[in-house]
Structure 1
Amino acid sequence: MLKRIKMRTWIIIGLILVIVLGIFFFVVNLSSQGPSTSKTKGVQLTQNGAGQYQTVIKDGHYLTSAARGLTATSQGNAVDTKDFESGLLTLAKSHFKTGRYIFQEGQYLSSDTVNSLLARQTDSNTTGLNPKDNGKTDSSRNPIYVQSLTEQDFMTKDGSNLKLAGMVVGVAMNTQDTYQKEQYGANYYQNISEEDRIAYGKKIAPKLIKQIRAQNGVAKNIPIVIAMYANASEDSLGSGNFYSETTSKSGTNISSWTDIDDKTVVFPKESSDSSSVGSDENTGFTNFKNDISSFFPNIAGATAVGKFTNSKLQSMKVTVTTQFFSQTEIEAFANYVASAAVKFLPSSAPVQITIKTANETQAILVRKSDDKSYTTTIM
């Protein structure tokens, strides 16, 4: 009888150990299958693919910019915002290598600081990057040159913490300033020449760097890259482009300015555009447009935007506006567009084609660089 009790006791103990070990291995396995992050004292770092930065997650949330979305005026080209930020991150990779640095949305320039920087200079706001209002309401007025700022931080691991190792600050400059002579009045447009825009950007750069280094947590000797971006006009189909950059290695001293050969081309090109950039692509797009228009005569229009660096096409986005009333018409048209695109549009750069009505997207076609065919998604 005693032996049976002992045997039952050992069996129970064994079952308990099996259950405990099972729970332990289940928890370990579950945690290993969770989001790919590494913890650094309350901060998680995403594990991104090759050529991409690790990014910062804090308390389970993506760490957003302290001053995102702020602009000097409400007017502007909506296409510019996304292009400005994504282009700045691409530019940053030439200064801060993805395998060494961790990307963090700007945390050092507060919304109050950015608002002050984007405002006009006044007796009470000497930090304003835009010139004082001279009271004029014609072409002799002092325009708003600086439309927006974007800060990007690049961190390195310092034990269990992250340490600011460098910054890239994009400065979006207006090529056209929209203003009103009276509140709620009509909009007026003041063009800013390339010469004036470039000169004014160089003028305010040391002042901007001084304000950046004055922020708590920004060391005097970390490299700060200033990248200048020319906004497109308000009614442009395309976005603007980066045109110049400089680096401050310490204090407010800056190195010489380096030109950036980026260009946005809208297709079909206007007859007044004599630039050779995009000439071959323009011929191909024109043939593409004519081909699909002759096959489906109810096309309302087709345009494209090409991004070029050093005169080489980096990407093209095509928009075809039309109206179809049945799913079979949409599918037939999308298939035809895909075959025409292979024939006429460039294959050396990624191409995205959006087929849409005035109110909704009907299909999206995508081809990566050097792919032989398009992937089509019908909405």
Structure 2
Amino acid sequence: MVRLKKITMLIGGVAMAALLAACGNIGSSTGGGTTGTTTNQSGVQTTGQISKSEYAGVIKNGHYLTSNARGLTASTINNSFNLNSFEGGLLNISKQFYNPANYVFQEGQYLSSSTLRSWLGRKSKNNPEGLNPKDNGKKDNSRKPIYVQSIEEQDFMQKNGDNLSLKGITIGIAMNTVDYYQKEQYGATFQQSISKTAMQEYGNQVAEQVVQRLRKTHGISSDLPIVVAMYVQSQTDNLAGGTFYANTQTKTASIDKWNKLDIVNKVFPLIGASSKDFASNDSKSFQNFQSQVQNFFPTVADVTAQAQYQDEKIQGEHVTITTQFYSQTEISSFTNFVAQVAPKFLPSGVPVDITINSANGIQAFLSRDSNDRNFQSHIFTSY
């Protein structure tokens, strides 16, 4: 099932550093060169798993093996909410096809930044590989919009003796329902709406082209499983990220069938929603939690949450609390209080995380897995 990305980008960096430090569970792989779908590189190792639900990663020559298109997604996705839900959601979709118990995660190695930037551009005489339509020269709603906003690759490996073999790829394709553009450089920003039908039809065509191009890429076999996941960005002013609306897996150069995904993001507390809204009860529970937290400190400025639903069932919740602290003891007391009241009001049976912020940045972080009742917490000290 698709679930919320559990941690913020900062926490993710800390977790990755811990993962790379897990030397007690590192397996080695040696050799040289790349042939077919077998990665046979000198100094390649795999990290241990921090949990059974998370992938081991790949280390090369003592360093984490970064993506060949590192930073591209962050530079093309329009805000942090979309970035987190796109990257985290894509990994969760991958887990449905590549079990972390059997596969090792590798950052994308087959599509480079230059290749993907070319693909994300408009098709033209100078850029025949562009996946977005040719510019028709118009400056109003009759212009051809940018449909495809970003593409991300994830590779999934299995050990084969001393080597890592490529056994599957996931491709995430982020689409727009609103294209933001300027009529002149440094001028005002305008919006062009794209209908859901037009977006999906264009996305289906793009997905087919991407799969066909991957099949022609050196190192990717003609029958390698390729998962394609289609994502729609939320608008830039939306406090909830976008969602994945379809996925598929293919072992050929074509896509025969799409699996539709009914995924919805909600921001709590709900404003103007009716009692018939499937998230209304969760919103009411959150408002009770919000009241408890705001009554603890006179300086609590804001308490909000993002929840994700699939088939109208909650999959996870991310809570953000913003306040002002004047001492380390206040941070500690407040974190302990939140850990006590959260189980009473926040949803059970799904992952939940809580980030406590102040003007100085993240002060504390709490999280709970789907099988737990109590929250684990960490307070960020200044020493």
TM-score, normalising length: structure 2: 0.82
1:134, CA displacement in angstroms? 1.8
Aligned equivalent of 2:153: 151
2-structure distance, mates of 1:212, 1:376: 43
Distance 1:158 1:319, change over 3 A: closer
Aligned equivalent of 1:28: none
Aligned equivalent of 2:48: 47
Q: Residue by residue, what CA displacement relative to the aligned partner does 1:109-128 show, whole Å, maximum 9, x if unpaired?
A: 12221111111111222221
Q: 1:249 aligns with which of 243, 251, 255?
A: 251
Aligned equivalent of 2:339: 338
Aligned equivalent of 1:217: 219
Aligned equivalent of 1:186: 188
2-structure distance, mates of 1:46, 1:72: 25
Aligned equivalent of 2:207: 205
1:216, CA displacement in angstroms? 1.3
Aligned equivalent of 1:125: 127
Q: Which moved more, 1:337-346 or 1:178-187?
A: 337-346
Q: Which moved more, 1:276-285 or 1:142-151?
A: 276-285
Is residue 72–residue 146 contact of structure 1 (8 Å, CA) maintained in 2? Answer: no
1-structure distance, mates of 2:335, 2:224: 51
The reply on whether 1:95 has 2:97 as its aligned counterpart is: yes
**1:283-302 to 2 correspondences below 5 Å:** 283-302=284-303
1-structure distance, mates of 2:336, 2:159: 50
2-structure distance, mates of 1:63, 1:362: 30
Aligned equivalent of 1:176: 178
Is residue 77–residue 232 contact of structure 1 (8 Å, CA) maintained in 2? Answer: no
Q: Which amino acid aligns with 1:228?
A: M
Q: Which amino acid aligns with 1:178?
A: Y
1-structure distance, mates of 2:24, 2:87: 29
Structure 1, gaps ≥5 residues long: 1-32
2-structure distance, mates of 1:72, 1:361: 21
* Other structure's SS at 1:140 match: coil
2-structure distance, mates of 1:273, 1:122: 48
Is residue 53–residue 98 contact of structure 1 (8 Å, CA) maintained in 2? Answer: yes
2-structure distance, mates of 1:275, 1:240: 23
* Other structure's SS at 2:294 match: helix
1-structure distance, mates of 2:208, 2:158: 26
Q: Residue by residue, what CA displacement relative to the aligned partner does 1:145-171 show, whole Å, maximum 9, x if unpaired?
A: 111111112233445433322211110
2-structure distance, mates of 1:122, 1:142: 13
1-structure distance, mates of 2:233, 2:260: 16
1-structure distance, mates of 2:243, 2:222: 30
The reply on whether 1:37 has 2:38 as its aligned counterpart is: no
Aligned equivalent of 1:307: 308
Distance 1:47 1:288, change over 3 A: closer
Q: Which amino acid aligns with 1:108?
A: Y
Distance 1:289 1:170, change over 3 A: same
Is residue 29–residue 163 contact of structure 2 (8 Å, CA) maintained in 1? Answer: no
1:71, CA displacement in angstroms? 5.0
Q: Residue by residue, what CA displacement relative to the aligned partner does 1:207-232 show, whole Å, maximum 9, x if unpaired?
A: 11121112111112212111101112
The reply on whether 1:77 has 2:79 as its aligned counterpart is: yes
* Other structure's SS at 1:94 match: helix
TM-score, normalising length: structure 1: 0.82
The reply on whether 1:322 has 2:334 as its aligned counterpart is: no
Q: Residue by residue, what CA displacement relative to the aligned partner does 1:277-327 show, whole Å, maximum 9, x if unpaired?
A: 422211101122233334434322211011223322222111122223234
1:73, CA displacement in angstroms? 6.8
Identity level (%)? 47
Q: Which amino acid aligns with 2:65?
A: L
1-structure distance, mates of 2:276, 2:143: 31
CA RMSD of aligned residues (A): 2.5
* Other structure's SS at 2:105 match: strand
Q: Residue by residue, what CA displacement relative to the aligned partner does 1:138-192 show, whole Å, maximum 9, x if unpaired?
A: 2222221111111112233445433322211110112322221111122222232
1:375, CA displacement in angstroms? 3.5
Aligned equivalent of 2:353: 352
Q: Which amino acid aligns with 1:94?
A: Q
Q: Which amino acid aligns with 1:362?
A: Q
1-structure distance, mates of 2:86, 2:77: 16
Q: Which amino acid aligns with 1:87?
A: G
The reply on whether 1:374 has 2:375 as its aligned counterpart is: yes
Structure 2, gaps ≥5 residues long: 1-22, 32-41
Distance 1:94 1:370, change over 3 A: closer
1:196, CA displacement in angstroms? 1.9
1-structure distance, mates of 2:264, 2:276: 11
Is residue 145–residue 173 contact of structure 1 (8 Å, CA) maintained in 2? Answer: yes
Is residue 75–residue 178 contact of structure 1 (8 Å, CA) maintained in 2? Answer: no
* Other structure's SS at 1:126 match: coil
Aligned equivalent of 1:266: 267
1:102, CA displacement in angstroms? 2.8
1-structure distance, mates of 2:302, 2:156: 43
Q: Which amino acid aligns with 2:205?
A: K
Aligned equivalent of 1:22: none
1:275, CA displacement in angstroms? 7.2
Q: Which moved more, 1:212-221 or 1:91-100?
A: 91-100
Distance 1:96 1:367, change over 3 A: closer
* Other structure's SS at 1:347 match: coil
Distance 1:60 1:373, change over 3 A: closer
1:35, CA displacement in angstroms? 5.4
Which of structures 1 and 2 has the larger relative contact order (alpha carbons within 8 angstroms, sep 6+)? 2
Aligned equivalent of 1:107: 109
1-structure distance, mates of 2:77, 2:150: 11
* Other structure's SS at 2:97 match: coil
Is residue 171–residue 227 contact of structure 1 (8 Å, CA) maintained in 2? Answer: yes
